[in-house]
A and B are shown apart, each in its own frame.
Chain A
């Protein structure tokens, strides 16, 4: 902690102590610690969600800029300096727009659907480590927790498609349900490879398992390369991004599951999709690309130090590759998606898990050993 921040930190501690004293005075010494715990957790959640929402907002701008450059356009450059206020303008526009509930729809489920989409997209961040210490809940089975929570994201899409009482929305929901269930299997197997290599389900341990004196050579994407590719592509499919975005498929089914949504309800789906995209990229960086570890050997001074900034940079690269995919590949046909998931990815991951199991028993396995 630098000397400049010292007074700020001290002031924070003083405020915290003041709050604790006030709560103890109001509620008594019995209940006050519980309330303090709740307040502390809430503050930490805000510390994660606010930067996440900001990065989602600026990811949309970055996406439009990158795709613009790839297509030899300028991208948004009118609102604010260099177009930097564009996401704010978009958000304001969505906020003040009218929310239209279709007359034949199931009103309750129509409103619940966006919540079902954003809830898992945010809840998964509870166990994501940003640093060996910087993690809200360092639970034992954090990898399993993330898989379980993200697997619930599909309900938002399905319920939205059904509750809208629209043929296009329903088709989108059906496509999405089948696609996500299929790719979850391949994704799960890819993660089995990771937990085999790291011999842990805890994300902090998984990153620590990739540390070596040789920097980049200790990361798991080298021994698990087929699983790394599978995870990356299945991640694109899981988040319904192009070229796997048949659930939206605007050229065939208008906008798929969210065709009837407008204003803020649409924006919530949008937020969930981008938050999921960042989450998948961050997990990719954590599990295969060494997380906060430096790609350079340890003795390279500052460059060799592990830092949160490395994690940020790696996540940024993976997220940008998602945008690159979108600008490059045409949309898959539905049967091709199913074929890729079931007939290519699942066999590849199964074979590689077998290879890995055998490999780890031999002295040729030079990566993590517990």
Chain B
């Protein structure tokens, strides 16, 4: 067994175990963290295929951003295990049928000779100076530019739609416009007036006390 296949089997077993853990973990936070582990190990598998851009992008996007937001939501859940387990037997037949279908479909693809899986050769040794990122960029921005740009626009529409659907004006919102805050000048808030001094009603001038007024006896 070469060193590479050792790494492959190590990563694959971690991946399978954590993927099973995602669906069997009782606590949703544990499930989400196991999913993070699954993403991370699969990115290691992609690195073995010399797809470094995709591998790093997987960690950057899914582990670094998507799963953080997932955890953000999942952590605020009130975990009630009894209620989670309530419908297990009721949903089991439907879930079993779906699972069986998935297994059949995957085995048809993976085991049949015509699909060509299993015969795929290892990626060829790449010349020095080969940059995965550059090749992918060239392909995406030349050959598949329309598909890529259309996908980007669809994503943008989805983002805007998601915000538009959840945006609601709240009556008690106390939003303050920062530009207005910064734009405030002294004359907007304070008015300095000059007034002539006046004599005290008792006729004494201000400094004409006996010098003991402020003191405590």
Which residues in A have some Cβ–Cβ distance to B below 8 Å? Answer: 34, 109, 139-141, 144-145, 147-149, 151-152, 154-155, 158-159, 162, 170, 173-174, 177-178, 180-181, 184, 201, 336, 339
Contacts and interface: CB of A to CB of B under 8 A. Distances in A.
Contact of A147 (B36, B52, B60, B72): B60
A170 B64 contact: no
Given A144-B53, A181-B65, A158 B60 contact: no
B64 A141 contact: no
Interface in B50-90: 52-53, 56-57, 59-60, 63-65, 68-69, 71-72, 75-76
A148 B64 contact: yes
Contacts of A152: 59, 63-64
21 contacts: A139-B52, A140-B133, A141-B131, A144-B57, A144-B133, A145-B56, A147-B56, A148-B56, A148-B63, A151-B59, A151-B60, A154-B68, A158-B71, A162-B29, A162-B75, A174-B75, A177-B71, A181-B68, A184-B64, A184-B65, A336-B178
Contact of B52 (A140, A149, A159, A178): A140
B75 A158 contact: yes
A148 B65 contact: no
Given A162-B29, A162-B75, 13 more contacts: A34-B3, A140-B131, A144-B133, A147-B60, A148-B64, A149-B59, A151-B65, A155-B36, A158-B71, A178-B72, A181-B68, A201-B133, A336-B178
Nearest to B178: A339
B60 A141 contact: no
B59 A148 contact: yes
Interface of B: 3, 29, 33, 36, 52-53, 56-57, 59-60, 63-65, 68-69, 71-72, 75-76, 131-133, 178
A181 B75 CA distance: 16
B68 A180 contact: yes
A151 B64 contact: yes
B60 A181 contact: no
Contact of B72 (A145, A159, A177): A177
A141 B29 contact: no
Which 5 pairs from chain A and chain B are nearest by CB? Answer: A151-B64, A148-B59, A148-B60, A144-B56, A148-B56
Nearest to A162: B75
Nearest to B63: A152
A35 to B, nearest CB: 12
A83 B36 CA distance: 44
A144 B65 CA distance: 14
B80 to A, nearest CB: 17
Given A141-B132, A144-B53, A151-B59, A158 B68 contact: yes
